[in-house]
Every structure is written in structure tokens, then in C-alpha cells.
Amino acid sequence: MYVVLVYDVSVERVAKVLQVGRKYLTWVQNSVLEGELTPAQFARLKAELKKVAEASDAIRFYVLPSKNSFRVEVLGTSKSEPSQII
């Protein structure tokens, strides 16, 4: 499955959420990560994020069957792209 993670969390937890997210996904833009995950990896990611997030935080997951099932158009410069990683 292809997962896009988008988060809006308190400033005190931004670094923690990013750190957890980068263990599983590629950071592509401020507060946005994406990548291929197995169901088990997705479950672990959610469990780890629950430990660092608070009720006032917002973390969204867009789950798609595969990267081929959607198209991304970018205006400007991307921080990184999953295809840039060797």
C-alpha cells in the first residue's frame, strides 16, 4: 500500500512526529511524508505516532493501493522524492 502522512501538531512535537515518520516513509515536504508500506509497517507507524501525539494534534493518513493509482503534480521544488533515494 502507498501511504501519505500529513500532520499538524504542536511545535513541541513536530520533531518527534517527523522522526517517527521518517523511520517508515520519505519526507517530501514540511509536515508531509509518503511511501510504500506493508500492513504490518503501517500498524507499527500508527502505534509509534500514538505514543508521541496528543489529543490536540492532527495526523492524517491517505492510504492508496499503490503509487501507480494516483498522480502527483508539483509546483516549485520538492524537499525530496522517494525516487531520489538510492
User: pLDDT tens across 17-33, in order?
Assistant: 999 999 999 999 999 99
Report CA 31 to chain centroid distance, whole Å.
Answer: 8
> Who contacts 45 (Cβ-Cβ below 8 Å, separation ≥6)?
3, 5, 20, 21, 23, 24, 25, 37
Higher pLDDT, 68 or 49: 49
Q: Is residue 83 part of a domain?
A: no
Q: Which domain, by its residues, includes 66?
A: 2-71
pLDDT at 83 (0 to 100): 54
Q: Is residue 81 part of a domain?
A: no
pTM for the full predicted model: 0.83
Q: Is 8 annotated as a binding residue?
A: yes
Q: pLDDT band at residue 81, thresholds of 50, 70 and 90?
A: low
Long-range contacts of the stretch 50-53 (C-beta < 8 A, 24+): 52/13, 52/16, 52/17, 52/20, 53/9, 53/13, 53/17
Looking at the DSSP assignment, which residues form a beta bridge with residue 36? 2
Number of domains observed in the structure of the chain: 1
